[in-house]
Structure 1
Amino acid sequence: MTSLSFLSTLSGIAENAKQIAKNSNINFEDHELSHTELVHLLESNSETGKLEALHHLIVQMMHGEDVSVYFPDVVKLVVSENPEIRRLVHIYLTHYAEFNPDLALLCVNTIQKTLYDKNPLVRAAAIRAMSSIRVPAINGIVLLGIQQSINDSSPLVRQRAALAILKCYSLDPSYYDQLVECIRLLLLDSHPLVVPAALAAFEEVCPENFIIFHPAFRRICTLFSKFTDWDKTVALKSMIRYARLNLPKPELTNTVHKDLKLLLESVDYCFYSLLPSTVLAGCCAYYYLAPTNKLDTIVKPLLQLLTDKSTIRLNTLLYIRHITFSRPELFKNHIKSFFLFGSDDVKTSVVKLEVISHLLDPENANYVLPELFYYVFKHPISKVASTAVRTIGHFAKNARSMASLCLNSLLRMLESDNDLIVTEAASSLRILIHNDPQEMYLQYLASIYEKFHVPVAKAVTLWLISEHLQQMIYVAPDLLRIAVRTFADEELEVKYQILDLAVKLYVATLTFEQNESNDEKSNPVVLLYKYVLSIVHFDMSYDLRDRARYYKSLTSAPFTDFTRRILLSNKQLLNSTKNISQDYCLGTTSVCLDDYVQGYVPVPEWADVSVIPEDDVRETDLNIETTTSAGPFSFQNTDIIKPLSSDASTGGNPNLTSTVKPRFVGQQSLEEFYQSDDSSDSEEYEEYEEDGSTAEEVTEEEIEEEENDDVNNGSGDDDNDDQVDDYENEHGESPREEEIHNSTEGYYTKENANTGSSFLSTESVMNKPIIPAEQNLWRSE
């Protein structure tokens, strides 16, 4: 019965899907539109046809096809009243405007007009589209749009303005002063949606200008808990850098500055995030800012991420590996958390073993070493097994009390059939035996030389015997005899060591009496030496032949102190196993890739106390309150919005003088804009008055008629309400429930809201009173 019910449900879903597909006007898989059909739909009067054509173009564009041939037809649709059409047109323009700058200029004025739309989503899309049209000729217009949008009542519009600063600065850095002032105002914003975008703009435009950052620091720390997870990750980059350069370092007594303590308390919210990057960013902030007694806070969050999926687990292990370079005590009690699982891939297993190598000590060796031995002899992946051998060798070098146990195990590993295991074991033995040469280990290596099939093992054995020749003076000649027999078939690194052993043995055993008697047949070492020189003479390696000639000249006077000091002196080994990842900082791509990545910026060192600013530079009002207000653009009863003046849109910025601020285009055409270089805003205002284009008062009956027309045409408030609902679902609040911005924000009065105007207002909106709540007829309930 249950199966029948389930099948009936599936059949019902299938029928519904067929019906939806049948009723849909857009089907890209079964219906391909030709060039003529697309042009016809784009020029049609039907909004449904225009949407179908635009959807088809966007899909083709996302598949990598070039659809720039339709640019003139798409640009015409920017004047559409349908918000969905305008949204798709904006997407199209951002991709192709840079390649068609002349045509793109034709739609800039229309996009600019939408900055005064009553819908905040439309205004946000307008500033985004205008800043994405990367045409240098409109940089001034983009800047003015940014200056206007940072005073908008909608936080979404202000966020888009902050992101537009990045694009404006990348195109024209000459607007640095104006953009810095915009960033200063945005950093002082009290909405958690705006401040992270302002921090991103700060990092890109003026990362060293902490004068504008000081007043906003405590406000940002207070707002930090309200940031989204991604915003927290972006914000912490700036906060860490600011704290290291402007706050005192935690003392050895673990006293923490009050502002640093405020920041660390804010970072605590990162550890409860479901986004791994936010948790890692919080751990990075604690690692670089927290005092020593607070560093154990990051241990549990990092260990918790080890249970996540493989990519997150690997990145977390890379962070832990970096931390254990300098702070191994944090994870020593959790070393079992880094034991390998069958599901671990090669990279994860290798990083785990590298972490274990930093945590292994005599106290936990009794249960860690058996685990490592199991990996060496039983793990199916050779690279993992060889890394376990390297871990054992690293432990033997650091723990002298366990060196004998590790040496015996490494000597056994030389007989393994796995070449990688033998190579790592020989490399570890080279350091261990050289630092503590014992005759029994050297004799054992010489006795099993013929069993070696890995060139590294042979080269290490010959090198150790030649370096400790005084202890092995009676074993070395026979080892040289065995090695010379297969000289022609050996690798180059083995040939080098055979030549070195022959030369050193010749100088060490030759006495003055033997040299005078010239009885070469009675000394086998001399015969072996000359034989090696003769066969090297015919070797294919230039370097080996040159080295043999050098040795021959050097041994022409074998009894001099110079010769013996060069050939027989002990040499120190350099540790070449240093991991380069410890040179990079947490939170960077370089530490994850173990290599330098272009754009890498290290975390700065703590600033000297003498250059740290006083605490009063960070004094600010922490009373962050949000007030429900209709705002200056939340009109529902009229579509005729009076545009802001150029003075009002600057937000009272004293840096924007009349000589440097860009001219506001308003309603004039682009041809008039580029032809009237010397005309001022007042002259434009007089021309509009002479043409009789001043606004006339709009009655309530006319407003109602326009609303009815919008409803009948399928556009207007219904579309806007749909977008507002989407905005509420995404951000959890209504775009009309917005706070009253700072004192630089202007407001419209009710009288002006009911007045249509097509010219630039010369009266600053700053001089207009704020609408009281009881008089605001468009206030959202």
Structure 2
Amino acid sequence: MASLSFFSTLSGIAENAKQIAKNSNINFEDHELSHVDLVRLLESNSETGKSEALHFIIVQMMHGEDVSVYFPDVVKLVVSENPEIRRLVHIYLTHYAEFNPDLALLCVNTIQKTLYDKNPLVRATAIRVMSSIRVPAINGIVLLGIQQCMNDSSPLVRQGAALAILKCYSLDPSYYDQLVECIRLLLLDSHPLVVPVALAAFEEVCPDNFAIFHPAFRRICILFSQFSDWDKTVTLKTMIRYARLNLPKPESSSTIHKDLKLLLESVDYCFYSLLPSTVLAGCRAYYYLAPTNELHTIVKPLLQLLSEKLTIRFTTLLYIRHITFSKPELFKGYLNSFFLFGSDDEKTSVLKLQVISHLLDPENANRVLPELFHYVFKHPISKVASTAVRTIGHFAKNARSMTPLCLNSLLRMLKSENDLIVTEAASSLRILIHNDPQETYLQYLASIYEKFHVPLAKAVTLWLISEHLQETIHVAPDLLRIAVKTFANENLEVKYQILDLAVKLYVATLSSEQENEDSNPAFLLYKYVLSIIHFDMSYDLRDRARYYKSLTSAPLTDFTRRILLSSKQLVDSTKETSQSYCLGTTSLCLEDYVQGYVPIPEWADVSILPQDDVRDTEMNINTISSAGPFSFQNTDNVKSLSSETFTEANPYLTSAVKPRFVGQQSLEEFYKSDESSDSEEYEEEESTSEEVTEESEEEENGDDNDGSDDDYENESEESPKKEETETDKTEEYSTTGNANTESSILSTESIVDKSVISAEQNLWRSE
């Protein structure tokens, strides 16, 4: 399927190149057409002049210029017989019809007539243009056009009708009931060009009306492998939401529902796509739908995307970071894939380190910690180095056995000249030491306080000493004395901690036997801090000092001691907040809520789930035409995805996809077995077709006994010709050896009702 999409992409590029080469004769940079020249060319009788003027107007429109002044002259050309001129007029109308509704109404009748054109591309363009003319007065006509085009024989026209539903509903929601019925019929379509657009219309018009979606669910799963890469991405959004609300939650591979299994088998095709967004969409579907023991399927597709270009690598790492937060065991065996490269930019490096922080454990610490220490001291980007410090701190909090090693490393990082490294180290130490206060670490922090040049490091040291005064009662007065000397030049956050340490030290050291407070050094330092704060510029700091002064008016009371000396619970501010957003959303990429964000719904309760028979429907997928430039020849994969119920109900599908064992054979043996199997299948199909034709001829002879002798002679003359053509087809088929294609065509002919074909042929003959 991947090769099919690759060649289809190449063919599209070739067509675009031809179109560019065709229009390259007109060079608008060499000469500028004035308003008078454009009007003259539009009104001329020359098709070349009209085409040149329209090309120039479209180019100016795409550059952002206002060319609405030419609207009356362009509208007249809608009746042109030249398809190129008519196409350019349609493009112009889609942009300016809303601003000129009165003039746009004049060309609606002409566009409506093209709905009956013989060319399906013209019919598809007509319904697209009619729905793009956003004039409420013609919305009823657009609805009639949709109802007509949705029954068209061309899938392009039906696709245009599905796109028109979106525009019709956005302009006038009062047609809700009629549009829902159109969506219901389009969801049951058998062509892969139509169904994805119908799903988009379903999501926009009636996303909660699962009653019309139930019969189409299995059909969509069967057709899923034939969808284009972009269509698969859009389709999976709807399928995930449907499965979570209408299918039971899988606990393991043995208890998975048959319909959910059918969907997951279809999703497997996304992992072989050349488009990264399709691979990510498949991983997203597996993550939210598959049982836990099958999630390993998404690991290798995600790791392969890490070798793509920068934007793809960034998005993939966001997916992996989200997955490893809840299921780190999936990627622990691939830890080396997240080590940094010299070519990684800052954002990619930070995301890799965040993934490593989820995967790091005591078992792989000996391999990962040296790598992290290298990033801290050697990496040229400060942001990456600080993230590595945060990763070490996160690991120390989760692994108690590795805490002493990480603590010693973080204490050494406080002497770094990089402010970001010191800040992250201080933040990690604040949590680690507070959870396990040891006198040795607290004394060390107090001894190097004067060497700190980062405000956060000073604030953390003062906060830890004030919170654990019992362990540091003999070093706290000296630390306060050192801190007060530079109080006026300190950051506001440091000033807060100096005030807190002063008031707590005063209350903790004051005893009932102490009669003279002036002999207490802690009281003198506290009094000095209050006097300095009285002249500080921060009103909040001054208010807090007044509060403490009133509170310490009775320092020996239990109320004062309970407020000031009670231990406080520390909140980890480094906890990731992006994990609350779902995969595949902009909110996850920006790590913030974005308007329009819709989370993945939870699995519905089993008691409210619909019955399985609501998804039973006739799924005649083989009736898709295999001819034409928009056909999909690779139908074998679709048949192999069919469920047991679908296969039993449609036994003709299995005959075209029977696996043939090759083994060690020569080319002659291989093609000989191929021809024999093909001839057997063809004889079976020929016998069934002859029986059907004999029955239909007997019915026609019985009904048309009053026919003329001339008709009977004509039929007798045509019969040997038919036999000759059939024998020619048999000989040609036996020599080709293309078993898969011919068998699918024969199975299609055996399904189609012969009476319907003959009726259509008679209809065309009468016309």
Q: Distance in 2 between matches of 1:245 and 1:22?
A: 51
1:126-161 superposed Cα distances (whole Å, 9 cap, x missing partner): 111111111111111111111111001110111111
Task: Decide which of 564, 578, 583 is 2:561's aligned counterpart.
Answer: 564
Equivalent residue number for residue 199 of structure 2: 199
CA contact (8 A) 1:153 1:739 kept: no
Q: Secondary structure at the match of 1:625?
A: helix
Superposed, which structure 2 residues align to 1:345-744 within 5 Å? 345-514=345-514, 518-626=515-623, 628=625
* 1:243 and 2:240 aligned: no
Q: Indicate conservation of the 8 Å contact 1:627/1:740, yes or no.
A: no
Residues 76 and 551 of structure 1: CA distance in aligned 2, closer, same or farther (over 3 Å): same
CA distance in structure 2 between the partners assigned to 1:605 and 1:470 by the alignment: 50
Residue matched to 1:116 = 116
Instruction: Provide the rounded CA distance (Å) in 1 between the counterparts of 2:154 and 2:67.
Output: 34
Shift of 1:623: 3.0
Alpha-carbon shift at residue 513 of structure 1 (Å): 2.2
Residue 662 of structure 1 is matched in structure 2 by none
- Give the aligned residue type for 1:540: M
Q: Return the structure number with greater relative CO, CA threshold 8 A, min gap 6.
A: 1
Identify the residue that residue 188 of structure 1 maps to in structure 2: 188
Q: Could you tell me which residue of structure 2 aligns to residue 673 of structure 1?
A: none
Alignment of 1:61-460 (within 5 A): 61-251=61-251, 254-460=254-460
Q: Relative to 1, partners in 2 of residues 1:455 and 1:738: Cα closer, same or farther, differing over 3 Å? A: farther
- The Cα offsets for residues 448-506 of structure 1, whole Å up to 9 and x where unpaired, read as 00000000000000000000001100100000000000000000000000000000000
1-structure distance, mates of 2:621, 2:450: 79
Q: 1:746 to 1:429 in 2, by over 3 A?
A: farther
Contact residue 189 and residue 742 of structure 1 kept, 8 A: no
For the structure 1 residues 751 and 630, does the alpha-carbon distance in structure 2 shift closer, same or farther, using more than 3 Å as the test? farther
- Separation of aligned partners in 1, 2:626 and 2:62: 40
Residues in 1 aligned to 2:532 and 2:258: alpha-carbon distance in whole angstroms: 76
Identify if the C-alpha distance between structure 1 residues 627 and 307 changes in structure 2 by more than 3 Å, giving closer, same or farther: closer
Amino acid across the alignment from 1:497: Q
**Amino acid paired to 1:100:** N
In structure 1, the partner of 2:10 is none
Counterparts of 1:183 and 1:96, CA distance in 2: 28
Taking the aligned partners of 2:549 and 2:201, their CA distance within structure 1 comes to: 68
- In 1, distance between residues paired with 2:164 and 2:594? 26
Supply the AA of the counterpart residue of 2:210.
F
Deviation of 1:297 after TM superposition, in Å, equals: 0.3
1:521: how far off?
Answer: 3.8
CA contact (8 A) 2:54 2:88 kept: yes
Residues in 1 aligned to 2:40 and 2:751: alpha-carbon distance in whole angstroms:
47
The verdict on how the C-alpha distance between 1:384 and 1:748 changes in structure 2, with shifts beyond 3 A counting, is farther
Aligned partners of 2:190 and 2:624 also within 8 Å: no
- 5+ residue gaps, structure 2: 1-16, 629-747
Q: Give me the whole-angstrom Cα distance separating, in 2, the residues matched to 1:32 and 1:409.
A: 70
| Residue correspondences, number | 629
What residue identity is the alignment partner of 2:463?
Answer: W
Deviation at 1:363, TM superposition (A): 0.4
Call closer, same or farther: CA 1:542–1:748 in 2, change over 3 Å.
farther
Show the counterpart of 2:648. Answer: none
Residues 304-351 of structure 1 deviation map (CA, whole Å, 9 limit, x = unaligned): 000100100000000000111111110111111011111111111111
In 1, distance between residues paired with 2:556 and 2:753?
A: 90
Aligned partner of 1:26 in structure 2 is 26
Matches within 5 A, 1:8-23: none
In structure 1, C-alpha distance between the alignment counterparts of 2:623 and 2:384, rounded to whole Å: 56
The corresponding residue for 1:680 is: none
- Give the 3-state SS of the residue equivalent to 1:306 in structure 2: helix
Q: Distance in 1 between matches of 2:280 and 2:750?
A: 32
Amino acid at match of 1:623: N
Distance 1:172 1:741, change over 3 A: farther
Could you report, residue by residue, the CA deviation over 1:551-576 in whole angstroms, capped at 9, with x for unpaired residues?
Answer: 00000011111100000001111122
User: CA separation in 1, counterparts of 2:627 and 2:518?
Assistant: 109
**For residues 7-57 of structure 1, what are the alpha-carbon distances to aligned partners after superposition, in whole Å with 9 as ceiling and x for unaligned?**
xxxxxxxxxx9xx99997521010110101100111111111111000000
Would the alpha carbon gap of residues 747 and 227 (structure 1) be closer, same or farther in structure 2, given more than 3 Å must change? farther
User: Aligned-pair distance for 1:189?
Assistant: 0.3
Q: CA deviation at 1:578?
A: 2.1
Superposed displacement of residue 81, structure 1: 1.1
Q: Which amino acid aligns with 1:204?
A: E
Structure number with higher helix proportion: 2
Question: Residue 329 of structure 1 aligns to which amino acid in structure 2?
Answer: E
What is the CA distance between 1:589 and its match in structure 2? 1.2
Change (3 A) 1:59 1:510: same
1:493-539 per-position Cα deviation (integer Å, ceiling 9, x unaligned): 0000000000000000011222xxx5344221111000000001111
Equivalent pair of 1:338/1:355 in contact (CA under 8 Å): yes
Give CA-to-partner distance per residue, 1:717-764, whole Å, 9 cap, x none: xxxxxxxxxxxxxxxxxxxx9999999x999967876899xxxxxxxx
Give the TM-score, by structure 1 length: 0.78
Return the offset for 1:617: 0.5
Q: Is the 8 A contact 1:25 1:52 kept in 2?
A: no
Q: 1:487 to 1:740 in 2, by over 3 A?
A: farther
Query: What SS does structure 1 have at the residue aligned with 2:196?
Result: helix
SS at match of 2:621: coil
Aligned partners of 2:407 and 2:429 also within 8 Å: yes
Q: Provide the secondary structure at the position in 2 that maps to 1:170.
A: helix
Flag the 1:233–1:747 CA change in 2: closer, same or farther, 3 A.
farther
Aligned to 1:726: none
Asked if the contact 2:251–2:292 (Cα under 8 Å) also holds between the matched residues in 1, the reply is no
Deviation at 1:622, TM superposition (A): 2.8
Q: Is the contact made by 1:127 and 1:146 (CA closer than 8 Å) also made in structure 2?
A: yes
Q: Distance in 2 between matches of 1:23 and 1:291?
A: 54
Looking at structure 1, the residues matched to 606 and 117 of structure 2 have their Cα atoms a distance apart, in angstroms, of 51
- Which amino acid is 1:261 matched to? K
What is the letter of the counterpart of residue 125 of structure 1? T
Structure 1 pair 532–459 and aligned structure 2 pair: CA distance change class (3 A) = same
- Determine the C-alpha separation between the residues in 2 that align with 1:279 and 1:192: 19
Q: Is the 8 A contact 1:324 1:359 kept in 2?
A: yes
- Evaluate the alpha carbon distance shift between residue 269 and residue 507 of structure 1 in structure 2; reply closer, same or farther with a 3 A threshold: same
Number of the residue aligned with 1:711: none
Task: Verify the 8 A CA contact 1:151 1:741 in the aligned structure 2.
Answer: no
How far, CA to CA, are the matches of 2:181 and 2:202 in structure 1?
Answer: 11
**Distance verdict in 2 for CA 1:496–1:362, change over 3 Å:** same
- CA distance, structure 2, for counterparts of residue 72 and residue 513 of structure 1: 101
Distance 1:322 1:144 in 2: 47
